[in-house]
Amino acid sequence: MFRASSAEILAPAGTYDALVAAVRCGADAVYLGGQELNARRNAGNFDFEELKKAAAYCHARGVKVHMTLNTLASDEELTDAAQRAVRQACQAGVDALIIQDLGVFRLVKQCAPTMPLHASTQMSVHTLAGVRELADMGFTRAVLARELSLEEIEAIAAHSPIELEVFIHGALCMSVSGQCLMSAMLGSRSANRGLCAQPCRLPFAAPGGTGHDLSLKDLSATEYITRLHRAGVCSFKIEGRMKRPEYVAAAVTACRKALAGEEDAVLQEQLKSVFSRSGFTKGYFDGALGREMFGTRRKEDVTAAQPVLKSLSRLYEKETPRVGVEMAFCAHEGEPASLSVKANGKTVFVESERLVEPAQNAPLTKERVVDQLKKCGGTPFEVSGIDVELDEQISLPLSAVNALRREALENLTERLEQPPNHTFSPVLVENRVKKVNKPTCYARFSTVSQVKNLSTAVENYILPLAQAAPIAGKTVVAELPTVLFGQEEAVRQQIEQAKARGITCLCAATLDGARLAKEAGLSFWFGLGSNVFNTLSLLQARELGAQAAILSPEMTLRQAARLGGTIDRGLIVYGRLPLMTTRNCPVKNGTDCASCGRSRSLTDRLGVSFPVRCFGGYSQVFNSRPIWLADRKKETEIVDFHVLYFTTETPEECAAVAARYQRGDAPPGEFTRGLYYRGVE
């Protein structure tokens, strides 16, 4: 079990000014993005020279730098952009990389084996099982999903073998991170590729709801920092790489005060003014889901910011002493005076140019030496201890003492700025395309009640875990719930029950489910939600024990056709894709569960309807129209299997779709080709 000795305040740095603001206000670490492959591609971000400057500035002040490499990467990017980003991170002295893509993870482990790796919240890990899987893979930290309650985090922290990080302040996505396809499907701007257009902030209305039933308020839960730290959480993350330096300064200051047990109502109001959406929410920490969590960016929220920005900028006007330095001064007659300074494990020794002389008038005293050495203003240092050794009746100008102090601290700064030694070796990404036979077909169902009169040609079923059982003449795979919030033990029991019924293979959307499958001794697939996007992610899936993987629907057919590896891979060729997986049901925002009924949907500003379904602990928002590729058989014969992904269909509709798929029919109504041709940015 991992236990943190001190709490880390982790601040966002979309620009160098925001980085300085964070450090001066007391951040223990910052996270930032390079120019490529980070989940905030529209932030200012850092080129290589800026990255080196940022790392040097932070390290001189005892602050760590975490670099985001947390997007899905294509095979071409793994060969070029990803390796360039990792090399620059090593050379600049980054302290850790934040990873989403299993392929990027595999790449970094090969080309920079000493680099610490943090599992991004976009990996959707939210159980102890998932955290243990990350630990076995070699991650040093897990950034937990934002939807967890205090009790759920505490339960994970009590047994976590690696560091845990949680979001404590900033914007909340409606969807579980890593499980959102809305921006990609509606406008080709992928959240998993760092270009989310935030369509959830637009009007999506549930009956009787707010009219913005996918837009959550921003999170502010600094009051829980001490409780979570006692539980074992080591890092408290502030969201906001797109935010102003003043916001970063206020958020870091609020977290720092909360850690010290201080309450500052004025600062909290200022923080709300500088950026919020109808105020703040405690998020999922207290388990109070529902209407109070929803909010939008109103006109009054915007106008409230201007009056407080100037006052907040004063929080980081000056350098803040934050590095304790130990000094040892020595002066003996006829020898150069010397000063040794030590901080954060680094030591510097300097000597004066002139020799110490006998005193003609007032001799040099220890008190005067101490007074001069303590004057570290304008530097990040503060004296934590001074040892003075000098002869009696000697003379040395105070200017010489000051010069020693300045030279020593300058040299110490240079020593502290030196980057950690992470080696980098380029790797060759495998690109041998897998040869496939004619694809088999799997029909995936939300409920077994949909399985009626299905074409006998469809011999493979994917059924929900709780209902899955062997069917004569069919291959049956049991699908785990997409997310398991608070249900890890219950799902573990369901797996054992399914195993007793004869189920031998599971389909998992995340590492959490994959771990549960392995613990039960069952084979498993990586399913929709696992974001398998490149050859290396397929190779990593195989290494983790997966027998097959459903490819990310954000891939183009051209990209899918060029994938290497030997593991079986599949495409969704029919179905309404889940655009969001949420813990906070958007329909419940307007209607209570008792009167919800079976016909549940959201309506956008154009009058388009998006079905919503609940699955016991989470909900999913589905696309308004299904993918249809039945009439593109030749173009999709590039994988080992196809998936007919049934969600809201009646049994009769399922049977009709299966028959049309077998015939290769053109679509019978409204449809989409998904992203298989247009791709994502």
Backbone angles phi, psi at 450, to 5 degrees: -80, -15
Say how many domains are in the chain: 3
Q: Tell me whether residue 20 is in a domain.
A: yes
Q: How many CA atoms lie within 13 A of 165 on its CB side?
A: 26
pLDDT tens figures, 638-677? 999 999 999 999 999 999 999 999 999 999 999 999 999 9
**Of residues 272 and 467, which shows the higher confidence score?**
467
Cα separation, 63 vs 117, in Å, equals 17
Does residue 275 sit in the same domain as residue 375?
A: no
Is residue 2 within 8 Å of 161, Cβ to Cβ?
A: yes
* φ and ψ of 45, to 5 deg: 60, 180
pLDDT surpasses 80 at 38 = no
Q: Kindly report the CA angle at 605 between 601 and 608, in degrees rounded to 5? A: 45
Q: How confident is the model at residue 113 (pLDDT cuts 50, 70, 90)?
A: very high
By the 8 A CB rule, do 49 and 77 touch?
Answer: no
Mean pLDDT for all residues in the chain: 93
- Domain stop point among 275, 293, 316: 316
* pLDDT at site 265: 87
What confidence score (pLDDT) does residue 343 get? 96
Averaged pLDDT for residues 144-161:
97
Is the pLDDT higher at 61 or at 269?
Answer: 61
CATH number at residue 212: 3.20.20.70
Model confidence at 383: pLDDT above 90: yes
Look at residues 143, 124, 135, 122 and name the one whose alpha carbon lies nearest to residue 162. Answer: 135
Residue 598 pLDDT > 60, yes or no? no
Q: Is residue 610 included in any domain, yes or no? A: no
84 and 226 in a single domain? The answer is: yes
Same domain (yes/no): 410, 551? no
Q: Which domain holds residue 452?
A: 440-575+626-663
pLDDT on residue 500:
97
Q: Describe the crossing of helices 398-417 and 366-373 by its angle, rounded to 10 degrees.
A: 40
pLDDT of residue 297: 85
Q: Residue 578 and residue 573: Cα distance in Å, rounded?
A: 14
Q: Residue 615: phi, psi to the nearest 5?
A: -135, 35
> Do residues 455 and 488 share a domain?
yes
Is residue 305 a part of any domain in this protein? Answer: yes
Q: What is the pLDDT of residues 242-260, one digit of tens each?
A: 899 999 999 999 999 999 9
Q: Are 299 and 402 contained in the same domain?
A: no
Residue 210 and residue 101 share a domain: yes
Which residues, in sequence order, are bridge partners of residue 570? Answer: 550, 641
Under DSSP, is residue 521 helix (H, G, I), strand (E, B) or coil? coil
SS3 213: coil
Residue 1 has pLDDT above 70, yes or no: no
The arithmetic mean of pLDDT across residues 164-187, rounded, is 96
Query: Where does residue 167 rank: exposed (0-12), middle (13-18), buried (19+ CB within 10 A)?
Result: buried
For residue 232, what is the DSSP state?
T
pLDDT of residue 310: 85
Q: Which of 598, 552, 567 is nearest to 184 (CA)?
A: 552
Same domain, 643 and 536: yes
Give pLDDT, residue 498.
Answer: 98
- Continuous H helices in 481-607: 488-501, 511-519, 535-544, 557-561
User: Residue 41 pLDDT > 70, yes or no?
Assistant: no
Q: Domain of 484: which CATH number?
A: 3.20.20.380
Q: Using CA atoms of 128, 134, 139, 141 in order, give the dihedral in degrees to the nearest 10.
A: -20
Residues 506 and 641 in one domain: yes
What's residue 583's pLDDT? 96
What are the backbone angles phi and psi of residue 670, rounded to the nearest 5°? -65, 140
* More confident position, 116 or 194: 116
366 and 456 inside one domain: no
Please check whether residue 338 lies inside any domain of the structure: yes
Q: Is residue 329 part of a domain?
A: yes
Q: What is the mean pLDDT of residues 104-129?
A: 97
Q: Is 227 inside any structural domain? A: yes
Tell me the per-residue pLDDT of 197-206, one tens digit each, with 9 for 90 and over: 999 999 999 9
Distance CA 548, CA 178 (A): 20
Instruction: Report the alpha-carbon distance of residue 40 to residue 36 in Å, rounded.
Output: 10
For residue 39, the model assigns a pLDDT of 61
Instruction: Give the residue from 281, 316, 351 where a domain finishes.
Output: 316
Residue 445 has pLDDT above 80, yes or no: yes
Q: Does 425 fall in a domain?
A: no
Separation CA 72–CA 195 (nearest Å): 11
What pLDDT, on a 0 to 100 scale, did the predictor assign at position 443?
Answer: 96
- Over residues 481-499, mean pLDDT: 97
Indicate if 527 and 652 belong to the same structural domain: yes
Last residue of a domain, one of 258, 290, 316: 316
In a shared domain, residues 274 and 411: no
d(CA 183, CA 42): 15
The predicted structure's pLDDT at residue 599: 63
Q: Rounded to whole angstroms, what are the CA distances from 449 to 445, 468, 477, 649?
A: 9, 11, 16, 10
678: in domain: no
Regarding predicted confidence, which is higher, 361 or 128?
128
Residue 100: pLDDT band by 50, 70, 90 thresholds? very high
* Residue in the block written with tokens 């207290």: 286
130/144 Cα distance (integer angstroms): 10
Give the residue-averaged pLDDT of 127-152: 98
Are residue 520 and residue 630 in the same domain, yes or no? yes
Whether residue 337 has pLDDT greater than 90: yes
